Structure 1
């Protein structure tokens, strides 16, 4: 009988460092999409705060930190990364476990903004995209999420099936930036 074993989306592909920029896969823990039912956004936000001690993030923002972070994840939706979602939230919101659906990596380094500028059609410079800012956007030709988690650190999520493509695109951009000196 064949024995199956679980693999992370970027298994064997990461970590990698080129020109002072590093990419590493990160385990965010449980990922739960939370989408308030129509007309119940206020109640869902209150339930979320009471259950998890985190403010419900505004559009294009995050709350919390590693181990317990809430990311704005699109219109009327957030993504809770870290702890299991409290089932009491189901009274006012649809809860969907998406733990196996996403590949998540961090891009860090002094030139991380330059690398990502080659892949993302939004301005990620610190003056415009501060720590705690997040966006659903294209990453090269993939749909994804990008969040600034530090002065020179970004969290990127893409669909699990696109993990290899993300690593390939990041590597090309990192090599191009490194070649510029």
Structure 2
């Protein structure tokens, strides 16, 4: 009989480090999409705060902290990253388990902004894109969510099917930036 083995989205390709940047895979955790029911936005935000200590994020923002975040991913949509969602949230939102559908990586280091500048059509410099800011954008040809989680670190979500390409594109940019320094 064949033994099935669970693999992480990035399949052992990470971590990698080049110059002043490091790319690592974030351990798989619970990912739940939240979409407020009509007229339930404030109630959902209050329930999220009571259950998980964070409010529903405003557009282009993330709330919470390491291990428990709510990240804006589109109009009227957020991704709860980390905790198993409290069942009480279902009264105010449509919830869908997304845990197996996404790859999660962390890009950090003094060169992280320069690496992303080669790949993303958005200004992610800290003077403009501060901690807690989040954007749904393109990284090369992939749709991603990028959230600044510290002065020199970004949390990136991409579809699991694109994990290999995500790692390749980021590592290529990391090498290019390192070669110029």
TM-score, scaled to structure 1: 0.97
Aligned length: 181
- Residue 28 of structure 1 and its aligned partner are, at CA, apart by 5.2
Aligned CA-pair RMSD: 1.0
Deviations 1:33-68 (A, max 9, x none): 000112221221122112212122111111111111
Superposition pairs of residues 91-106 of structure 1, within 5 angstroms: 91-106=91-106
**Contact 2:73/2:145 (8 A) holds in 1:** yes
Instruction: Give SS of 1:146's match.
Output: strand
Deviations 1:57-84 (A, max 9, x none): 1111111111111111111011111110
User: Runs of 5+ in structure 2 lacking a partner?
Assistant: none
Match of 2:6 in 1: 6
Following superposition, which runs of at least 4 residues in structure 1 exceed 2 angstroms of deviation?
none
Superposition pairs of residues 27-42 of structure 1, within 5 angstroms: 27=27, 29-42=29-42
Change (3 A) 1:71 1:28: farther
Instruction: Give SS of 2:55's match.
Output: coil
- Residue 100 of structure 1 and its aligned partner are, at CA, apart by 0.7
TM-score, scaled to structure 2: 0.97
CA distance in 2 between counterparts of 1:56 and 1:93 reads 11
- Residue 104 of structure 1 and its aligned partner are, at CA, apart by 0.5
**Contact 1:28/1:67 (8 A) holds in 2:** no
User: Runs of 5+ in structure 1 lacking a partner?
Assistant: none
Moved more, 115-124 or 53-62: 53-62
Moved more, 21-30 or 153-162: 21-30
Match of 2:147 in 1: 147
Instruction: Give SS of 2:23's match.
Output: strand
Question: Is 2:160 the counterpart of 1:160?
Answer: yes
CA distance in 2 between counterparts of 1:120 and 1:66 reads 24
